[in-house]
């Protein structure tokens, strides 16, 4: 089933059933670092090879990432895909000419990505955003973060901002895709969409804002606002 995508018959029905099941697992609604870690592991462990059971796995790179890469080729620059999941976004980065590392907390996800792309140029790793390898700090010319921040809340989210920013080399760019929420709202997650003002936290972490592109994703009758944000490490 792992080769099926959202447009295949039955995929979305299985996804809806999986969401209901996953929402009942310990750590689904947030909590401490170990709680969320256990939940992410459980998502991949219980999927049994069916990507429909991984709520964020569409088996294709995000369209807004692909659009950005068309005018920002890698030309050998180093890139990292934060929370790479099943690998589609990391593969898009590599195909655009970036020397790409893709990492995920779940070894199961990393193994699944390697299985899907056996001849990949991507260096897939199991790694923890909150305990990054020392040689990754300040290393990457491009950091791609899609939906990781919105999957965390409270103090974990604050720490995640710092960890993501720490990966950037001087002059490096952060490309961020996320759902957005109205200011002063209290999202009932997961996910917990980000208010635009919250993204300004990157300013205090040594980054300058370069570009913002707002867009909507339609899911049935729902209109889900997003932004594609670009930041750069000063210096």
pLDDT at 83: 96
- For the domain covering 63-233, report its CATH number: 3.40.50.150
pTM equals 0.91
List the chain domain ranges.
11-53, 63-233
Quote the CA–CA distance of 124 and 126 in Å, as a whole number.
7
pLDDT at 122: 98
Report how far apart the first and last C-alpha atoms of the chain are (Å, whole number).
47
pLDDT at 5: 67
Consecutive 10-residue averages of pLDDT for the chain (235 residues): 60 80 69 80 87 89 98 98 97 98 95 97 97 98 97 94 98 98 89 96 98 94 96 94
The token pair that represents 227 in the structure block: 């932004």
pLDDT at 12: 80
pLDDT at 120: 98
pLDDT at 37: 81
């Amino acid at each position: 089933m792992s080769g099926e995508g959202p447009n295949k018959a039955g995929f979305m029905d299985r996804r809806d059933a999986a969401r209901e099941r996953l929402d009942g697992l310990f750590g689904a609604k947030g909590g401490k670092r170990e709680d969320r870690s256990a939940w992410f592991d459980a998502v991949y462990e219980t999927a049994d090879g069916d990507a429909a059971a991984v709520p964020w796995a569409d088996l294709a790179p995000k369209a807004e990432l692909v659009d950005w890469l068309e005018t920002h080729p890698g030309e050998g620059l180093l890139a990292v895909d934060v929370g790479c999941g099943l690998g589609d976004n990391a593969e898009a980065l590599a195909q655009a000419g970036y020397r790409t590392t893709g990492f995920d907390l779940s070894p199961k996800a990393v193994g699944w990505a390697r299985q899907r792309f056996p001849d990949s140029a991507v260096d897939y790793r199991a790694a923890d955003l909150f305990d990054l390898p020392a040689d990754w700090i300040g290393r990457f010319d491009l950091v791609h973060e899609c939906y990781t921040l919105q999957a965390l809340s409270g103090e974990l989210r604050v720490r995640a901002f710092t960890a993501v920013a720490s990966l950037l080399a001087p002059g490096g760019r952060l490309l961020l895709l996320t759902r957005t929420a109205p200011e002063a709202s209290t999202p009932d997650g997961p996910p917990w969409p980000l208010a635009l003002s919250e993204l300004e936290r990157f300013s205090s972490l040594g980054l300058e804002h370069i570009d913002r592109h707002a867009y909507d994703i339609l899911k049935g009758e729902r209109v889900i606002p997003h932004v594609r944000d670009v930041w750069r490490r000063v210096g």
